[in-house]
Amino acid sequence: MPSSSSFPPAVLVGVQLPGVSDIEHAADLAELGRLVHTLGYEVVATVSQRRESVAAGTVLGTGKLQELARLTGGSGNVPTGAPSRKSKARERWEAGEEELSEEAAEEEAEEEPEEGEGMVPPTVTPRVVVVDHELSPSQLSNLERATGAQVLDRTGVIVDIFHRHARSREARMQVEIARLNYLAPRMRESTGSRERQQGRGSGDSAMELDRRKIRDRLAELREGLAAIQQDQEQRRYARRDQLRVALVGYTNAGKSSLMRAMTGSEVLVADQLFATLDTTVRALQPETRPRILVSDTVGFIQKLPHDLVASFRSTLDEALEASLLLYVVDASDPTWEAQLEVTRSVLREIGAENVPSRLLFNKADRLSPEAREALLQQHPEAIVLSAHSPEDVAALRLKVMEFFEGSMTEAELVIPYARQGRIGEVYENARVLSEEFDEHGRKLKIRALPAAIAKLTHAFGK
């Protein structure tokens, strides 16, 4: 890990809209800070403003913009209209004293708050401005001119992280599709005179392509992706008769840590957002009879760009086809409820809301005994655990096995002596309850999923 001074300094910019509480706003900015940190920047300052809406031209009002420009060493000059007088109602709302009524909001077009909201000036000059809202090309351009710094928006940051973390061919293609979709409309509106339009790493090569080339590239990518996905579908089809459980949840909740602990696999665990972009499937360990497959999946985040959700759909199809979804929640995060709601809504969006599920409150080692108790009171059906505790993971394994027990049935199978070489298939897909030998072969009593019984019966005959 490099020392913090080697990270390029960045300043965060957020607008607190009416209806967003102080706590929610602070959590939003904290999350943006973690995204920016994951991308390799150090957050040295935050500029935040209460506004009725994000300013069409420059996101912030002129006064706040100048404050931002002072931090970054920019001119603060932007082509906006002259600021108008601030209403008394707005002054009170901005001071946090009351809700802003619609009439009061309409009273004036632009406001100009002066107070610094307790901001400590950074000792280094931020070279990057990261805005917690999606920016239009003209907002981006105005902000770059006023601040003299590189400007990124939240979507751009997420797309960049995905770009850096994509490993498999499929994930790389999905991310490239999302990036091109993100860049294309921005390129359309700009006349091409601006450099670094989308900031570091998020579009340098794409900027050289014209729109037609982007379209061609998108078509090529979609075709390539379709071929890969067909392959995957076949593999999933082959696994349809197996017991499958998928770990889903907010980014950084601990899905990969649980995957490691449950399967002994070496999947990447990192205190980063979106460390995992590919689905990994491994058998639950110690192996069960029949064996149970566990999938680790891409994490969710609030305000996930729609294109990214769409491009990761196939990754999430893995979750759709699981018989059991384990919703992993970071119970030590004060915003876990909002995070769980994001997870639920994305899964609803892909049609997975009817898959049976269990709630896992992870990182319980960071909770006080009272907090644990309160969670269980609130969600008696949930499992409270720590991915770092072998006992907790062993108990989870039993719970998962119990869940599948209910969906299995029993059957008899006779394996002719000539086919004894394939006996391993039976042990992998079923639990053998008893066996006898007679003149026809090995007579087995098995317990397995109905689909697995059908397949084995087909393979070996009655």
Q: Are strands 42-50 and 128-131 parallel, antiparallel or unpaired?
A: unpaired
Which residue's CB comes closest to Mg ion?
276
Out of 49, 181, 197, 257, the only residue in the binding site for ligand GTP (CB under 6 A) is 257
- Our finding on whether 395 is near ligand GTP (CB under 6 A) is no
343 annotated among ligand-binding-site residues = no
- Our finding on whether 375 is near ligand GTP (CB under 6 A) is no
327 annotated among ligand-binding-site residues = no
For residue 198, count CB atoms less than 10 angstroms from its CB and return exposed for 0-12, middle for 13-18, buried for 19 or more: buried
One character per residue 274-293, x = contact with ligand GTP (rule: CB under 6 A): xxx-----------------
256 annotated among ligand-binding-site residues = yes
**128 or 277: CB nearest ligand GTP:** 277
Out of 63, 199, 254, 305, the only residue in the binding site for ligand GTP (CB under 6 A) is 254
Binding site partner of 270, from Mg ion, ligand GTP, none, Cβ cut-off 5-8 A by kind: ligand GTP
Out of 102, 103, 271, 370, the only residue in the binding site for ligand GTP (CB under 6 A) is 271
Q: At 313, list the tokens.
A: 């759909």
- Our finding on whether 34 is near ligand GTP (CB under 6 A) is no
**CA gap 404, 19 in Å, rounded:** 44
Binding site partner of 152, from Mg ion, ligand GTP, none, Cβ cut-off 5-8 A by kind: none
**139 or 362: CB nearest ligand GTP:** 362
72 annotated among ligand-binding-site residues = no
386 annotated among ligand-binding-site residues = yes
Out of 236, 388, 419, 431, the only residue in the binding site for ligand GTP (CB under 6 A) is 388
Out of 299, 383, 426, 430, the only residue in the binding site for ligand GTP (CB under 6 A) is 299
User: What Å distances lie between residue 73 and 62, 204, 375, CA to CA?
Assistant: 16, 25, 48
Q: How far is the CB of 275 from Mg ion (least distance, A)?
A: 5
**16 or 256: CB nearest Mg ion:** 256
Binding site partner of 251, from ligand GTP, Mg ion, none, Cβ cut-off 5-8 A by kind: ligand GTP
429 annotated among ligand-binding-site residues = no
140 annotated among ligand-binding-site residues = no
Contacting positions for Mg ion (CB under 5 A) = 256, 275-276
Binding site partner of 388, from Mg ion, ligand GTP, none, Cβ cut-off 5-8 A by kind: ligand GTP
Q: How far is the CB of 340 from ligand GTP (least distance, A)?
A: 13
Out of 386, 393, 411, 448, the only residue in the binding site for ligand GTP (CB under 6 A) is 386
Q: Known binding site: residues?
A: 249-256, 274-278, 296-299, 362-365, 386-388
Q: Known binding site for Mg(2+): residues?
A: 256, 276
